[in-house]
Structure 1
Amino acid sequence: MTVGFIGGSGIYEALPLNDTREETVETPYGEPSAPVTVGEFGDTGVKVAFLPRHGPKHEKSPTHLPYRANIYALKELGVERILASNAVGSLREDLPPQTLVVPDGIFDRTKHRQSTFFGDGVVVHMPITEPYCPHMVEHLHESAGEATDAETEKGGTYVCIEGPQYSTRAESEFYRAQGWDVVGMTAVPEAKLAREAEMCYATVAGVTDYDVWKEDSEVTLAEVLENAAENETAIKETVEHAIRTLPDERDCDCGHALEGTVNTPAEAIDAEVRERVDPLVGQYLDG
């Protein structure tokens, strides 16, 4: 089995892997954030494909990340399950910096991103009621509790903003009033695209700040980077434990998420479009 690991802010290097190689994957959606590092994880027999979301030197902003290319590249490399990490701000007093959160919900506040592989020549309407694979959420949370000393939280809503600016105070207070839990910039469209690629997807989010809702709190890059560095070890320990104990088989519906979702008749899809989407939806166009 091949597991993908997408490293967020503060995580730019792969886990300890054996026999590593770099894969440069060409996609119809452009170049991924970086070449994908592929290697064997210890003696588990699990192959890991690592991709630093923002590039190896954090040169890509949340708005301009090649989300579609990243997910497509991992799909082409045989990845079926993706573990990700994010740096987030807390919208709750009881989720202080250096807490690990494994969210199970998303609210999309982005404005300028392509959130689907489809729509140009083939229309797909896919349910995404649960944007994170519930089985992977459970597994990641258990792994965080067993592998680290960090405070951990299972579930909650990640509100994804456009960035690259942080929230205004009015926005931050609005998010809190909705009962949302953490705020970040990169869950969308990554989670949506992973579901369209029929991959299991879950993230461990490291809290770096209190956003700007808290009295005397004014989030700064220096604070975010300092706490992201503190969270790095716990996040990697969580992901390593999750990979080491990952069940061989998937016990969820992610692997056939596109079944019954294609709204364009197969005969109406031209050859160029068919070639582009075939790795994603081809099996549902052949019947």
Structure 2
Amino acid sequence: MMSLMRRATPNYDGVRVLWDNRNVRTERVSFGQVRYQPGGYCGPRIQRDYELVVIHSGECRVRVDSARMNLRIGFAYLFCPGHREHFQFSQTTETHHSWCSITPKFFSAALRRELETAPATGVACSETFQRILSAAFLSRPSSTRVIEALGMALFAEFLDTARQTHGLERNDECVQRALRVMEDHFGEEDCLAVARGAAGCSVNTLIYKFRKQTGLSPARYLWKLRVEKGMAMLAETGLTVAEIAYRCGFKNPFHFSRLVRQHHGCSPRELRRRAWA
């Protein structure tokens, strides 16, 4: 049985759809392609998975939290769980796009950290990426192992291409050590201090390298991580907002609620209502 987080929510899969193919899927990996009529849209929704989106023709503008961007044809864009998304497609022409989504628990903690630091500006689809995507739609619906292997291969190719084109520093051990501590101890009061100590470099060096790799300082990244962990708990557990806030390292539920509203435009209770709808 699917978890509460994966139950259908209004507009999650789009409106004004001409045709779609969502049959290539397992419980953990889903490949799909869809063609929208002019004026079609998807969302607003809270992303549940890690999802790669590719526009083949038409136009797409998307808002993620407070950021807006236009998706370029032939580029792959990564969308991460816990963020509020609203896709708006061309008002004058049909828009065709494909995607691959994978549940967060299918990735290792190390891969999740790498995905969270991938560029938001999109990555040009390599020939290998396109071949993997095409192969997925030729798979038999019952081929669970094949579909899941292709999904992981698609994400691996995306990350490899991103590293080559954006100069991501995957092997910077200072940053990786700090990220591991944050992932494992995000709810603890001294998490940031422990992460700085584990990094094995000066505070200024860590801040510089952290910003270069993630776009955020270590402190801001930790608060972002705590918000995302809290949002996952809202969707997946019956804990109260206060209990979630304390478990995620907030001193009080008001701070947690303020950051959730700041990043996603609504209260924690509203996010839970949408996830459980």
Q: State the TM-score, normalized to the length of structure 2.
A: 0.28
- Structure in which a larger fraction of residues adopt helix: 2
Structure scoring higher RCO (CA < 8 A, sep ≥ 6) equals 1
Q: State the TM-score, normalized to the length of structure 1.
A: 0.27
